[in-house]
Amino acid sequence: MTAKMRRVTEDVRANRTARLLVARLEAVARVAGQLRHSETERLVELASVATMRAVALELIRAEQATEIWREAHVRHPQLPQPARLELPHRLAA
């Protein structure tokens, strides 16, 4: 596989991962008003763990993930902040 093909594949994967994260946060925001606060917090926690794993596996850049979360909170201020969103720069060996 050429470097250009590998880069295109990585870009496609990163875009798909970003779209999935945005969709998950939008879904949580839509149902947040219908759930108990603890249930909503749990969904946010699961989304934050998925985000951290995606960054660690280099499926998405940490900066892009941070921006997606920031935009989600701008669009949906009622969305709970994750207890922790520690985005690694890369997967530890």
pLDDT tens string for the chain (93 positions)? 676 666 668 889 999 999 999 999 999 999 988 999 899 999 999 999 999 999 999 999 999 999 999 999 999 998 888 866 666 555 444
Report pTM: 0.78
Q: Rg of the chain over CA atoms, in angstroms? A: 14
SS3 43: helix
Long-range contacts of 89-92 (CB under 8 A, 24+ apart): 89/55, 89/62, 90/56, 90/58, 91/56, 91/57, 91/58, 92/56
The dihedrals phi and psi of 21, each to the nearest 5 degrees, come to: -65, -45
